Structure 1
Amino acid sequence: MADTLKNIRSKFVSSVSKTVIHQLLDDLLDDKILNDGEVEHIKDGTSMRAEKARSLIDMVRNKGDTASHILIKRLKEQDPMLSKNLGLDS
């Protein structure tokens, strides 16, 4: 699953909205994939949407396959159209 995130990284970064990023951060905090400090780092680290997206996908990808699987699952829930465009619907 971490490889899947690596393969979709650039398209995710260019396509995901700031709203979806924040929803994913909340979801991943609830799922205990990210901690408060990591969420705040992404939210407050930069105002640029693309940088937030890069930080999010890289942080989760580095946590391994289980974390990556949960991010993909949450992305499918939050933005089904983006998930489909990224090829994650299968």
Structure 2
Amino acid sequence: MAEQLGTIRRKFIESVSKAVISELLDGLLEDGVLNDGEKDSILEENCGRADRARTLIDTVKRKGDAASKKMIVYLQQTDPTLYSELGLSPPV
């Protein structure tokens, strides 16, 4: 799963909206993938949408396959159109 995030990284950064980033952060925080400090860091240290997207995907990818799978599931639920455009396959 982490490898799958790596392959779609550039297009994710270019395409994801601020609203979707916020929803992903909330879901990943609820699931324990991110802690409060990581979420706050992504929001406060990155002013632009692309910087937030880059930091989010890199942080989750570093956490491994389980975390990456959760992000893919949340992306599928939050923005099915972007999920399809990125060519992601459903997590198994």
Q: Which runs of 4+ in 1 moved over 3 A?
A: none
SS at match of 2:47: coil
Q: Quick check: 1:24–1:71 contact (8 Å CA) kept in 2?
A: yes
CA distance in 1, matches of 2:24, 2:83: 13
Aligned residue for 2:12?
12
Q: Shift in Å at residue 47 of structure 1?
A: 1.3
CA distance in 1, matches of 2:84, 2:46: 28
CA distance in 1, matches of 2:2, 2:65: 5
CA distance in 1, matches of 2:27, 2:83: 16
2:23 equivalent to 1:23:
yes
Gaps of 5+ in 2: none
- Matched residues, percent identical? 51
- TM-score when normalising by structure 1: 0.97
Q: Quick check: 1:14–1:50 contact (8 Å CA) kept in 2?
A: yes
Q: Shift in Å at residue 89 of structure 1?
A: 4.6
1:56-82 alpha-carbon deviations (Å, 9 max, x no partner): 000000000000000000000000000
2:35 counterpart letter in structure 1: N
Gaps of 5+ in 1: none
CA distance in 1, matches of 2:87, 2:18: 20
1:22-74 alpha-carbon deviations (Å, 9 max, x no partner): 01000000000000000000011121000000000000000000000000000
- TM-score when normalising by structure 2: 0.95
